Chain A
Amino acid sequence: MDGFAKSIGGGGPNVPAGSHPAGGSQAAAGGGATQRTQYPYVTGTSVIALKYKDGVIMACDTGASYGSTLRYKSVERIKAVGKHSIIGASGEYSDFQEILRYLDELTLSDHMWDDGNSLGPKEIHNYLTRVMYNRRNKFDPLWNSLVIGGVKKGPKGDEKYLGMVNMIGTHFEENHVATGFGNHLAIPILRAEWHEDMTFEEAVKLVEKCLLVLLYRDRSSINKFQIAKITTEGSTIYPPYSLKTYWGFTHFENPAQGAVGSW
């Protein structure tokens, strides 16, 4: 799962965990191809997304943690890609930046063809799946869970697309998708309450319900969210805002009441 450091022992020299440099592959002293996985350093938490009537809506908080510290509080984890898609990422933020650079190269060469064609969300999803899977096979993964959503004209008219791919290359397409803690907290809500052709207002309400649960229960989430949508008219990433939370439960008042203390 994202944010958990893993080390896979290779046949190489014994490097103590603390001194392992970020950025992955390291050849063994004997010049062999031993490589180790990285540890994620600056991580984003859940992203949730769902299809609605006009397209796809995606939301996440704007925080990036450095281990257990909520270090960065204004990080944009959802970006537009080309004309037809948006991508959201949880996990290592620097790997997300690298992925954005790869996608930028793709959209640039698209633009230079100038032939009216452009990459759609399905194509971007497939490309990223190849990238993620190949990196995982080299034991040098991009430590992310990516959500790609978009709308593009297809043979049956405007086709909405929403897919996910993670650091081991698992990928699928669904009507609603979540990463990280969202898998455990948001997906059950989405499964119960999502239905076909929701309006934008309904979709936002559902997304906010999930974001609120994540805010209460995920310790690496912050109360500053961004919602993005993609429709045939293009992508919109709304400015960040906060949700109202309720902490007035009786058990939260005077929390040390029943505690045994020495004074």
Chain B
Amino acid sequence: MSSIGTGYDLSVTTFSPDGRVFQVEYATKAVDNSGTVVGIKCKDGIVLGVEKLVTSKMMLEGSNRRIHSVHRHSGLAVAGLAADGRQIVSRTKSEAASYEKVYGEAISVKELADRVASYVHLCTLYWWLRPFGCGVILGGYDRDGPQLYMIEPSGVSYKYFGAALGKGRQAAKTEIEKLKLSELTCREGIVEVAKIIYGVHDEAKDKAFELELSWICDESNRQHQKVPNELLEQAKAAAQAALEEMDAD
């Protein structure tokens, strides 16, 4: 799928003859090369998981968070350039806060996704800005129940049952499609997400990784938070067991 733009790819404000904006496509490549990010919508909430590739043995566990709370009821998992992601997170937080300040109510997840998408899209319209090199999965729980949105560097945002970004997204999407999401609770969901991420992790190419899991569900009082430690350990153990089973075949 990689075609050289030759001249039409120098600026984000230039279309190619076949109607593509190459700069945005190149931005998407940055996302495709990052660690896998997975989000699923379960019966009673959302589970977000990130395969956080550890680049140095000196890194402290739990640092470089890739999943951020953007409001009480929503979280954002970032794939791609981490610094770009922080900017999107910061903007999302302020959008959510200003909505609540004006309307006295928490922003709906749909509205928040729209605002993130607008912001990401904004940076694809001007020659003096470059597109964000990251895609985000926004999971939230509001009056209309749990919802999952994915926003790509082009600024498109769609609502999903399950979404994946990054290196292992194809494999992850296949695995997600196998799940019966409408019957899965979040407790079961975190185990499934852990299994998927452990499954798509490429041992050969990338050595170490840290699993980051978060959820918003009835159990967490509809608040976005890191999955509690015991559940996280259980999920990791189950995922590793499943992996060994697969290897044994």
Contacts and interface: CB of A to CB of B under 8 A. Distances in A.
Interface of A: 101, 105, 108-109, 111-114
A108 B72 contact: yes
B97 A108 contact: yes
Chain A interface helix/strand/loop/mixed: helix
Interface of B: 65, 68-72, 93, 97, 101, 223, 225-226
A113 B72 CA distance: 11
8 contacts: A101-B101, A105-B97, A108-B72, A112-B68, A112-B69, A113-B69, A114-B65, A114-B225
A187 to B, nearest CB: 37
Nearest to B93: A112
Nearest to B104: A101
A182 B202 CA distance: 69
Contacts of B69: 111-114
Contacts of B97: 105, 108
B14 to A, nearest CB: 38
Contacts of A114: 65, 69, 225-226
A28 B28 CA distance: 56
Contacts of B223: 111
A113 to B, nearest CB: 8
Contacts, number: 19
A105 B96 CA distance: 11
Nearest to B65: A114
Contacts of B226: 114
B225 A112 contact: no
A225 to B, nearest CB: 28
Given A101-B101, A114-B226, 4 more contacts: A108-B71, A108-B97, A111-B223, A112-B70
A111 B221 CA distance: 13
Contacts of A113: 69
Interface centre among A101, A108, A112, A113 (most CB of B within 10 A): A112
A108 B93 CA distance: 10
A41 B196 CA distance: 60
A110 to B, nearest CB: 10
B8 to A, nearest CB: 41
Contacts of B225: 114
Contacts of B101: 101
A105 B68 CA distance: 17
B214 to A, nearest CB: 8
Contacts of A105: 97
Contacts of B65: 114
A40 to B, nearest CB: 23
